[in-house]
Amino acid sequence: MTRFDCLDASYQLLDDLHVPLTRIRARDSRLHTQLRTAAASIALNIAEGRGRAGKDKRHHWRIALGSAEEVEAILQVAKRLRDLNADDAVAAHATLVRLRKMLWRMTH
């Protein structure tokens, strides 16, 4: 199958979330589960949208964009609850910025 940059970025995000997920799991198992679920949803909906057509394709990519916003919010909440240090999610934030820009262009 051919490469798809947006899907590759979603996989990179999963890699980038290793440290944040580990730290959050130690402090808040529910927030950890929510972060894992939202991050996985991004990749899964991008992949599913890739195999669809028309509005159905964009629908899945909009869901992925919403999940990316959720991941960002979870990271912000975890920092403010002191479950994460500022440096723990730098790579994830950078990948999220890139991913959200791609998804925005794909849905608008």
Give the start-to-end residue ranges of the domains of the chain: 5-107
Residue type, 51: G
Q: Which residues contact 20 (CB under 8 A, 6 or more apart)?
A: 35, 75, 78, 84, 88, 89, 92
Show Cβ contacts of residue 56 under 8 Å, excluding neighbours closer than 6 positions. Answer: 49
Query: pLDDT tens, position by position, for the chain (108 residues)?
Result: 567 899 999 999 999 999 999 999 999 999 999 999 999 999 999 999 998 888 889 999 999 999 999 999 999 999 999 999 989 999 999 999 999 999 999 999
pLDDT value of residue 1: 54
Q: Distance between CA 89 and CA 25 in Å, rounded? A: 14
Q: Which of 23, 45, 43 is nearest to 95 (CA)?
A: 43
**pTM of the predicted model, to two decimals?**
0.93
Check residue 76 and give its pLDDT: 97
How is domain 5-107 classified at the architecture level of CATH? Answer: Up-down Bundle (1.20)
Of how many residues is the chain composed? 108
Provide the pLDDT for residue 72. Answer: 98
